[in-house]
Amino acid sequence: MIKIFKTFGGYIEIPKVEKGCWINVTQPTKEEIQRISEEFNITADTVLDILDVDERPRVEFDDTWSLIIMRIPIKNSNNSVPFHTVPLGIYMSDDFTLTLCLQDNEILPIEQVSPFREQLHQIPDVINFILRLFVRNGNTFLRYLKEINQQTSVIEKDLEESIKNSELNKLLKMEKCLVYFITSIKANEIVLAKLHHSKKIVGEINEDMFEDAKIENKQALEMAQIYSDILSGMMDAFASIISNNLNIVMKQLTLISILLMIPTLIASIFGMNVPNFIEDSHWAMPSIIIVSLFISVIGVFLFRKRRWF
């Protein structure tokens, strides 16, 4: 979907490109990708780089245009990894600024008229618009990290009463999310630093806004690293607990097998087709059963005394 706005932030939507406008593109179709290349005069390689799910964040400058790629968090609705990151490209030229993302996102939601409508003043230039995107991106990372922590706590409670691997698999998916987040946030931090020190950026950087973006990004990185360390230690601990629970179950089954083997052995001996001196006695059967139970009870007593049960 392609939407064209008169100013940054999306206050007024316009039908065609004007000088200084902002173009927001999300989940483009093949026809829209072709339109971006032809009408907006953006090379196909640049568009494909931004739409590459594995594209790394970077800053790129040319004589007539500039490109900034950052990675933003995305929430999955399917049963795979709950959260991951995708690239968001910001293409800047003398006539317009274009943002392009291969998936719908909360940083620049295509259905929302103005993602910055809560601001009292319009965004004056592209550099402050980019800084607001970094601040918004950091806030989104922090919100998703809190959701990951909440989901991890629920899985932890289920795992305390389980000896299955399904909960560990869920924790593994959460750990993957944190790895994606940490890698993306670190790369975004490098892009933010290059943006601040670049001499080719036109416009004055709002230092307060830059500090806000830097702080939000750093806080998200620290939280992701803390959650990752906690989750890694938790997985190791619960893996040991599951293994220990399994060993306890196997031990109990082995002890039960030993206790059942005692009457089986006695019954096998007296069941042989050979003289055993009590085959003619009326008390043979009850005596064998009583002796078997007595020896089994002694076995249970010895196992309990050694705390094997």
Query: How high is the pLDDT of residue 260?
Result: 83
Residues 116, 121, 122, 126, CA torsion sign: negative
In DSSP terms, 66 is beta-bridged to 61, 92
Query: How high is the pLDDT of residue 282?
Result: 74
Alpha-carbon gap, residue 201 to 61, rounded angstroms: 9
Alpha-carbon gap, residue 254 to 91, rounded angstroms: 68
Alpha-carbon gap, residue 3 to 214, rounded angstroms: 29
Listed range (77-81, 174-178, 229-233) with the worst mean pLDDT: 77-81
Q: Residue 203: is its pLDDT beyond 80?
A: no
Half-sphere exposure of 72 (CA within 13 A, CB side): 27
The top-scoring range by mean pLDDT among 82-91, 99-108, 148-157, 276-285 is 82-91
Contact at 8 Å (CB) between 221 and 182? Answer: yes
| Confidence bin at 200 (pLDDT 50/70/90) | low
Domain ranges of the chain: 2-244, 271-305
> Average pLDDT in the 130-145 region?
89
Q: Give the rounded percent of residues in the chain with a pLDDT score beyond 90.
A: 9
Query: How high is the pLDDT of residue 144?
Result: 92
Q: Express each pLDDT in 159-173 by its tens digit.
A: 766 656 677 788 888
pLDDT: is 119 or 102 the higher one?
Answer: 102
Tokens linked to 307: 């705390």
| Confidence bin at 58 (pLDDT 50/70/90) | confident
Average pLDDT over the chain reads: 81
The top-scoring range by mean pLDDT among 110-124, 212-226, 259-273 is 212-226
In DSSP terms, 89 is beta-bridged to 69, 100
Alpha-carbon gap, residue 307 to 309, rounded angstroms: 5
Query: How high is the pLDDT of residue 142?
Result: 92
Query: How high is the pLDDT of residue 120?
Result: 46
Alpha-carbon gap, residue 125 to 117, rounded angstroms: 16
Query: How high is the pLDDT of residue 199?
Result: 63
Q: Express each pLDDT in 247-260 by its tens digit.
A: 888 888 888 888 88
Q: Give the rounded percent of residues in the chain with a pLDDT score beyond 70.
A: 88
Residue 78 φ/ψ, nearest 5 degrees: -90, -170
Q: Express each pLDDT in 259-298 by its tens digit.
A: 888 888 887 777 777 777 777 777 778 888 888 888 888 8
Place of tokens 């998703």: 144
Place of tokens 């829209």: 32
The CATH-assigned architecture of domain 2-244 is 2-Layer Sandwich (3.30)
For 121, the 3-state DSSP assignment is coil
